[in-house]
Amino acid sequence: MIVDPKLSPPLAIALSRACERFAQTGQDLKNFEIQISERTRENGEDENGENTIGIAFVAKLEPGKKGLGNANRLGRSVLYIASKTTGEILREAASR
């Protein structure tokens, strides 16, 4: 489920922190789309059972190419999992 378009303070904090971490990868942000999703108890909680937010930097496809987002040279997708109540980044996962 995509998150409500209004940014709550924890979501704004999480997005800011995810952008800071993504910048450290050295990848060009223009080659990515940012997808924000609410993760509920059915598909994602932090260690304390708290609901989380997923912030994914998804690599775009090269023009004229088909396949998965990472099946190109434009970049490597990264998913950040953050607390829905504090905005703290709890973990990250990179795709190959």
**Mind listing the pLDDT tens digit for each residue in 47-93?**
555 688 899 999 887 776 666 544 567 788 899 999 888 999 988 98
For residue 20, what pLDDT band results from cuts at 50, 70 and 90?
very high
| Contact predicate 31/74, CB 8 Å | yes
Burial class (CB in 10 A: 0-12, 13-18, 19+), 21: middle
Q: Is 55 helix (H, G, I), strand (E, B) or coil?
A: strand
pLDDT at 45 over 80: no
Instruction: Tell me the residue ranges of DSSP E strands in 1-96.
Output: 32-39, 52-59, 78-83, 89-94
Distance CA(29)–CA(4), nearest Å, equals 23
